[in-house]
Structure 1
Amino acid sequence: MEDVMFRSILVLVLQFVLATTVSGTGVAASPLAVGQRTQLLVDDHVVESRRGLTRRLGRVTKVNGGKPIFRDGIFYGTVLHDGGLFKLWWRKRGKAGYGYSESRDGIHFTKRGDVSGINFAGDFTLSVMIDPHETDPAHRYKASYDAPGMAAGLAYSADGIRFTTYNGGKPVTTRAADTYNFLSWDGDARTYRLFTRTDFAGPGGADEWRGTRMMTNPDPRRHPTRWKTVRNWVFDREGKSERTRRQIYAVTDWIRHGVHFGLLSVYEWPGDFSEGGQDNHKRHERDVMNYYIATSRDADSWDLSWVYSGQPLVPRGPDGAFDKDLLLPASTIVTHAGKHWIYYGGSNERHGGPGFVLKREQAVGLATIGEDRLVGLDATGRGTLLTRPFQLDGRRLLVNANVREGGSVRVGVIDRRGKMLKRFSIDTARPIEDDQPAAVANWKGNPKLSSLGGDVVQLRFEVERATIYSFGIAK
């Protein structure tokens, strides 16, 4: 009887092991869902292991020599690319509402009208989205704004100029403070997300402790007030005293290939006026605002590494620059013509506060970076990367890499038993060289990747003197 029981238990254990691993490799039986989605290497979501590779922030290029590209208005605001046009929503100076302009080149804008139909509370903050989930053309554009009572309001429009408010113009949230309220559609989670600022101490002045909140609602059009708070958070990794070092001023969420990029306006050394009084030429380091990014897979748990390492996505300008002291991101990033267009508001004086009022000039600037090159894995010498297992479905493997002189990227394919396939080995891989945003991986003899269709595989990248940003399987 004991022998039978032992054999039964052994069989169950073996069945469990076989159900959760692949023979000889220990590879998870449930492969990562990849499909044809580009896999960004901003985190280790698709990475099983890596060696000799350092994650680095991409370097943006400021357009127009770092000078403003738009002076008619300021941010908070939005730039979208739609129907062959760059569409810009900008705040009028003096808190007098919002204007709307268009451009074909993304630099020279022409005003097309004034935004109407929105009952701003008085701070005049606005972000606009084109809703990919909406089926009614009358609701194609959706706006988030500061509603009466310093809360978030929502509105809709067919043309992005003439809006009608949801909820009769009444707030759809509790207090949301005076910076961005930002609405987006998360297609993976099948829900809308609303980001607002919240206060963890006094609502203003020296006691203010700025935080942020994210909420979800699957159908705000039908139920504009049914927002479920997922989390409120502040910068407090270093304890409550961190509020004197940095505070979150505004957060918006740009979704790219399933990755949430938090566009963060971070208020650094708030209320520290130790660098002296009014000076519109000298670049300051205290009481300033920087433009950082954070990354997440769920819009809740954020990787804040770039903030804590002091690496902004868009650096503030030098002495005398229009953007030397304050940077405020546009509510989203535009992708067009192989580049990301990163619009931002800049200012040549610090934030200031009660009893320390500063005069500043504000304008809109633009920086660009290669498509999907915000973050990459860099090998100064040689490095390797092994992906998690996934089911291969496609004909081509595309690699986004910048290879420096004397370097290369090679890719090998490993089967579910953990063995390198001879036809697709590192040894037979043709090297990827130079700067290639969409290099097609090839091997000697030109074997067809489609012959592996449906197989569970891993990719092994050997990277030498190069930065690899992403890969993807294409039809």
Structure 2
Amino acid sequence: MFTALVVHAAEPVEIGRRVQFFMDDHIVDNRWSLKPKTEEVVRAFHAPEKHAANPVIAGQGGYVSAVREPDTGLVRLWYQIAHWTGEAGKGADYAIAYAESKDGVTFERPEFNLVEWQGTKANNVVWRGPSGRRASGAQIVQAPERDKRGFRYLLTYHTGGAGKGMNGIRVVGSHDGIHWDAGSDSLITELHSDTINSIVHDGDRGQYVMFCRPKDRYLVGGATGNFLETGESRRIARMSGADLWKPWTGPPETILIPDELDMQRGFNRFYGMSARWHEGIYWGALLCFKLNTDITTELAWSRDGRRFERLPLRPKLLALGPDGAWDGGMVYGSADWVEMGDRWYLYYAGHDGPHETPHRTPGIGLATLRKEGFVSLRGPRGGGVVCTRLLRWPGGGLKVNADASKGEIRVRVSDEKRRPLDGFGYEDMETFTGDSTALEVEWRGKSLNELQGRAIRLEFHLRNADLFTFRAE
């Protein structure tokens, strides 16, 4: 189905305890079919399924950030809301609202009586920024405890109308996610990037990375009626810094520009990109914009935070709903998925009209997919093999996320030359014919822990089955 760029890793690959994904061939040495004239092992994309209860929040919605509390299981959402003032030159007011759910589907919007919005404090608004006029693009940052200054939650957002030296991307702390400490509110960068400005902490490189627009030097194309001078700011750029609480220096570096495939489909802008760092990989929900109408969401990923890849046929992570539906005009996806059992829950903002519609109604929707289930390698009916690069086995057993409910999977362990290791052959394991996100692969009388520190290959024999991920555990 899809062929993704091969990103070679030094061998033996140090996989540690991280989940190994197959959206590219980073750890794949080869894959082939047992009937090569008619079949092949293919890469399959699995789009999240929109929930039947959508919209889970009606009448409110914008960029959304989600967290599931590990102790209570409570799902918490912080999201942008807007109100068009109707005043010349003022545009819209923006604020951050809050909702929560015990099951991730049915949400409550408590009245906090904290922040005035449209003339009343009887609302679920929790933050409006230093000017009281604009707090947009909310995101809860997953930061190490040492960087939180004693707060449990850190919120990054964009503000305007606050005066010179105040406008731009800011961070504020909270102990409960509802009451935000104005004294902690700090400027990260004086950049008017009016989109979702995702900030992630890269634990390998010890830095924070923000994905934004390069609006230090480009405006929204044609804002003055002169594209020659404005350029085009609706691109994806990045900035980085070691400290969330001190201003970052240096200009945004452009890293994603629409290519020929985007142009052929009319998606000639990138509106923004929600991102997260998970299992050593940057995951992006890329907002593809057809000027000046549709916005849809696609999957992007990077192993270094600079070179982002996309699946060649550009399948939609979140597509528009039908004409007239609550999400039929625009869908703003988020990379802030939460884990609910064997499923990942992805929340997104939807609108019933396209970008320039003056009176469109927002909402927040839910889409779910298999845990770790964006992409699989799929073996054909006649069978196929996925052979990894040499891996430095860290010890412990092998866990596999796979669906063989209509076929079967077997696994063997081999050396550099693909010679099977004694006791770890296909015939030494019980063939798997089920569906599991955490299958414990076992060989009769043998343990992979015996191979700790050795360079090995894993060979997956797939017959009419999907291999999503594997990990050492």
Query: Normalised by the size of structure 2, how large is the TM-score?
Result: 0.81
What are the superposed Cα offsets for residues 79-133 of structure 1, whole Å, 9 maximum, x if unpaired? 1111321111123341352222221111222234332372268454132325341
- For the 8 Å contact 1:77–1:125, the answer to whether it is kept is no
- Which stretches in structure 1 are left out of the alignment for 5+ residues? 1-26, 272-286
- For the 8 Å contact 1:236–1:242, the answer to whether it is kept is no
- Residue 161 (structure 1) aligns with: 178
For residues 99 and 117 of structure 1, what CA distance do their matches in structure 2 show? 9
What are the superposed Cα offsets for residues 11-47 of structure 1, whole Å, 9 maximum, x if unpaired? xxxxxxxxxxxxxxxx998521112211111211111
- For the 8 Å contact 2:59–2:362, the answer to whether it is kept is no
Task: Using the TM superposition, give the Cα deviation of residue 137 of structure 1 relative to its aligned residue in structure 2, in angstroms.
Answer: 5.9
Aligned length: 420
Q: Secondary structure at the match of 1:451?
A: helix
- Residue 19 (structure 1) aligns with: none
Distance verdict in 2 for CA 1:239–1:465, change over 3 Å: closer
For residues 266 and 324 of structure 2, what CA distance do their matches in structure 1 show? 27
Letter matched to residue 104 of structure 1: K
Task: Using the TM superposition, give the Cα deviation of residue 417 of structure 1 relative to its aligned residue in structure 2, in angstroms.
Answer: 5.3
Distance verdict in 2 for CA 1:248–1:371, change over 3 Å: same
Q: 1:128 aligns with which of 135, 139, 144?
A: 139
Whether 2:442 is the aligned partner of 1:438: answer: no
Q: Secondary structure at the match of 1:412?
A: strand
Taking only aligned residues, the RMSD between alpha carbons, in angstroms, comes to 2.7
Q: 1:76 aligns with which of 60, 63, 71?
A: 63
For residues 131 and 254 of structure 2, what CA distance do their matches in structure 1 show? 24
Query: Normalised by the size of structure 1, how large is the TM-score?
Result: 0.81
- Residue 273 (structure 2) aligns with: 251
For residues 314 and 473 of structure 1, what CA distance do their matches in structure 2 show? 31
- Residue 235 (structure 2) aligns with: 211
Letter matched to residue 96 of structure 2: Y
Whether 2:158 is the aligned partner of 1:146: answer: yes
- For the 8 Å contact 1:254–1:333, the answer to whether it is kept is no
Percent identity, aligned pairs only? 25
Whether 2:74 is the aligned partner of 1:85: answer: yes
Whether 2:130 is the aligned partner of 1:119: answer: yes
- Residue 99 (structure 2) aligns with: 101
Task: Using the TM superposition, give the Cα deviation of residue 244 of structure 1 relative to its aligned residue in structure 2, in angstroms.
Answer: 5.6
- Residue 301 (structure 2) aligns with: 295
Whether 2:384 is the aligned partner of 1:383: answer: yes
Letter matched to residue 346 of structure 1: G
For residues 321 and 63 of structure 1, what CA distance do their matches in structure 2 show? 14
Whether 2:203 is the aligned partner of 1:187: answer: yes
Distance verdict in 2 for CA 1:471–1:449, change over 3 Å: same
- Residue 424 (structure 2) aligns with: 424
Q: Secondary structure at the match of 1:427?
A: helix
Q: Secondary structure at the match of 2:235?
A: strand
- For the 8 Å contact 1:33–1:391, the answer to whether it is kept is yes
Q: Secondary structure at the match of 1:299?
A: coil
Whether 2:276 is the aligned partner of 1:265: answer: no
- Residue 278 (structure 1) aligns with: none
For residues 62 and 239 of structure 1, what CA distance do their matches in structure 2 show? 26
- For the 8 Å contact 2:79–2:138, the answer to whether it is kept is no
Letter matched to residue 255 of structure 2: W
For residues 244 and 418 of structure 1, what CA distance do their matches in structure 2 show? 46
For residues 164 and 126 of structure 1, what CA distance do their matches in structure 2 show? 18
Letter matched to residue 439 of structure 2: A
Alignment of 1:386-397 (within 5 A): 386-397=387-398
Distance verdict in 2 for CA 1:59–1:330, change over 3 Å: closer
Letter matched to residue 328 of structure 1: Y
Letter matched to residue 460 of structure 1: E
Task: Using the TM superposition, give the Cα deviation of residue 351 of structure 1 relative to its aligned residue in structure 2, in angstroms.
Answer: 1.0
- Residue 277 (structure 1) aligns with: none
Task: Using the TM superposition, give the Cα deviation of residue 310 of structure 1 relative to its aligned residue in structure 2, in angstroms.
Answer: 3.5
- For the 8 Å contact 2:238–2:252, the answer to whether it is kept is yes
